[in-house]
Amino acid sequence: MANCVVAVLAAHDQLQALRSQLAELSPPPLSLLAIGPGELALEQVERLNPSQARTRRQKQMALWLIPFGFFAGVMFTFITDLQTFAFAGPLGEPLISGLLGLGSGWMGSFAAAASVPSEDDDQVRILRNRLQEGNWLLLLETRNGVELPWRLLQQAGARALVRLSED
């Protein structure tokens, strides 16, 4: 769990000054990423890239759904006593059913990951628009229980402070 905020800054000088001030904090931030021209691209930051988050969710879902689909396919063959794949014999029939269930679990992981929106989609859209307007972004992430340095962020003259949901 981490606290995360993104500061929207008008000038690159502001970004560099704030980044150096935040880097000197004790305890140091978990991450301090500058985003904008001459810095990281928005797509490179996983926290602000919905497609990377969706891919991560799909992989996590696949870890559960693929084995579950395989065993569900095998068990379905034994429970129903259907002989859909009788040509494969007594061992091949449940194996084919299991492989079909495995494929269903894999496809289901894509559908499930795509159907779950990220909590931060609206904030990321706002940040993307601010970046296109010519601003710079500074993503600050601190450990859970460590208060974000709000005063320092406000003194830096940030145009906006966007808090992202906790992981």
Instruction: Give mean pLDDT in consecutive 10-residue pieces for the chain, a chain of 167 residues.
Output: 80 86 83 84 79 82 93 92 86 92 92 74 80 87 81 83 73
- Tens digits of residue pLDDT in 60-70: 899 999 999 99
What integer pLDDT is reported at residue 39 of this predicted model? Answer: 84
Same domain assignment for residues 70 and 101: yes
Res 9: pLDDT:
87
Q: What is the pTM of this model?
A: 0.66
Same domain, 111 and 54: yes
Q: What is the full DSSP assignment across 93-140?
A: HHHHHHHHHHHHHHHHHHHHHHHS--TTHHHHHHHHHHHHTT-EEEEE
Residue 87 counted as domain residue: yes
In the prediction, which pLDDT does 103 show?
95
Of 2, 17, 4, nearest to 157 by C-alpha is 17
Neighbouring residues of 80: CB distance < 8 A, sequence distance ≥ 6 = none
Question: Domain for residue 123, yes or no?
Answer: no
In a domain, 125, yes or no: no
Phi, psi dihedral angles at 151 (to 5 degrees): -60, -45
Same domain, 10 and 54: no
Q: What is the distance between the alpha carbons of residues 78 and 16, in angstroms, rounded to a whole number?
A: 65
- H/E stretch holding 162: strand 160-164
In this structure, the answer to whether residues 67 and 101 fall within a common structural domain is: yes
Whether 55 is covered by a domain: the verdict is yes
